[in-house]
């Protein structure tokens, strides 16, 4: 979700967002077999270690989800205000999580509201498979994302992009049917226009559910839609500048409005409200075969 990661920390008060998302006991991978090196190891992702099936109506489970709150633009000139524990923007209904962007000016300077959830209580892990089944919102000016940030900001500038970002799914409403996956770090990120990224066509992304996933190992990060791999970011073994993904990361789910990318073609106010509907979120442990 590019530079909004940095402003997700600083605009809500220091490292508030990062601290809020840190799991007290992030899941770590099993050890490598004796004599193996990362480049020669194969991995499986069969052990389910954290999940939310969204089967309890009401607000999202407070033991599993926190909120990033605010409306300062998030470093991308976004126009929404992210609310906290407000059912109009984030709720569980009919066995799904609904994140809803609305055209309403509840806060000065923001003509829209929405929600940005962060995973808690074990929803943080070093390596593994992160899998989300979702139906995406559409409409010009809408910018949903399913992505990941680190629990701790230990490298370089102690912020973004030095500590990494994994974009499992991004979608901009003015470019229908195209889903993006990316990674950002000190050496490769969107402000220098050299981020590692790829796209896949999903023509019914806004009318049907699809499974968006990444499999993350010490050697690479691979993105999938419905188990079709279409993007890989490989470890160059050149240091943290190109591979900060050796520490636990947590999930973020949000629907942005406008912004430098999402709002590049303007905003269709007639399209509101728009909802990202999530059937489940599942995290699997990585295990060396």
Marked catalytic residue, from 100, 131, 170, 219: 170
Q: Beta-carbon neighbour count of residue 228 at 10 Å? A: 11
Extract the tokens encoding 29: 């991978």
Best CA proximity match to 253, nearest among 18, 90, 49? 90
Question: Is 100 a known active-site residue?
Answer: no
Question: Is 165 a known active-site residue?
Answer: yes
Across the chain, the runs of DSSP E, i.e. the strands, are 43-52, 65-67, 80-82, 90-93, 96-107, 110-114, 116-119, 124-125, 128-135, 142-150, 165-170, 178-184, 196-201, 210-216, 220-225, 228-234, 249-257, 274-288
Compute CA distances 53 → 60, 94, 131, 229, 281, whole Å.
11, 11, 12, 24, 7
Extract the tokens encoding 228: 């079709």
d(C-alpha 185, C-alpha 241), whole Å: 6
d(C-alpha 180, C-alpha 196), whole Å: 11
Beta carbons of 250 and 118 less than 8 angstroms apart: yes
Compute CA distances 240 → 148, 164, 221, 233, 243, whole Å.
17, 9, 15, 14, 5
- Is the dihedral angle over the CA atoms 202, 89, 215, 133 positive or is it negative? negative
Best CA proximity match to 69, nearest among 87, 84, 79, 59? 84
Marked catalytic residue, from 78, 100, 131, 165: 165
Compute CA distances 90 → 61, 116, 135, whole Å.
11, 8, 15
- The catalytic residue positions are 165, 170
């Amino acid at each position: 979700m590019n530079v909004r990661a940095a402003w997700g920390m600083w605009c809500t008060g220091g490292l508030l967002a990062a601290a809020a998302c840190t799991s007290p006991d992030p899941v770590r991978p099993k050890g490598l077999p004796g004599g193996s090196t990362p480049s020669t190891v194969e991995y499986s992702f069969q052990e389910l270690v954290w999940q939310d099936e969204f089967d309890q109506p009401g607000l999202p489970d407070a033991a599993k989800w926190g909120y990033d709150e605010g409306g300062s633009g998030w470093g991308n000139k976004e126009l929404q205000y992210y609310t906290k524990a407000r059912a109009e923007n984030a709720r569980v209904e009919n066995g799904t999580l609904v994140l809803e962007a609305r055209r309403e000016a509840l806060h000065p300077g923001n003509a829209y509201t929405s929600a940005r959830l962060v995973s808690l209580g074990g929803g943080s892990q070093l390596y593994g498979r992160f899998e989300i089944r979702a139906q995406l919102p559409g409409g010009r000016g809408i910018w949903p994302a399913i992505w990941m940030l680190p629990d701790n900001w230990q490298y370089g500038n102690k912020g973004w992009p030095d500590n990494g970002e994994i974009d499992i799914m991004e979608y901009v409403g003015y470019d229908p049917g195209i889903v993006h996956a990316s990674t950002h770090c000190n050496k490769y990120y969107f402000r220098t226009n050299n981020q590692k990224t790829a796209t896949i066509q999903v023509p019914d992304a806004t009318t049907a559910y699809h499974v968006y996933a990444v499999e993350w190992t010490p050697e690479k990060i691979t993105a999938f839609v419905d188990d079709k791999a279409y993007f890989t970011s490989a470890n160059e073994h050149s240091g943290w500048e190109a591979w900060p993904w050796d520490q636990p990361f947590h999930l973020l789910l949000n629907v942005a409005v406008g912004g430098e990318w999402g709002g590049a073609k303007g905003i269709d106010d007639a399209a509101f409200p728009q909802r990202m509907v999530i059937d489940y979120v599942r995290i699997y442990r990585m295990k060396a075969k």
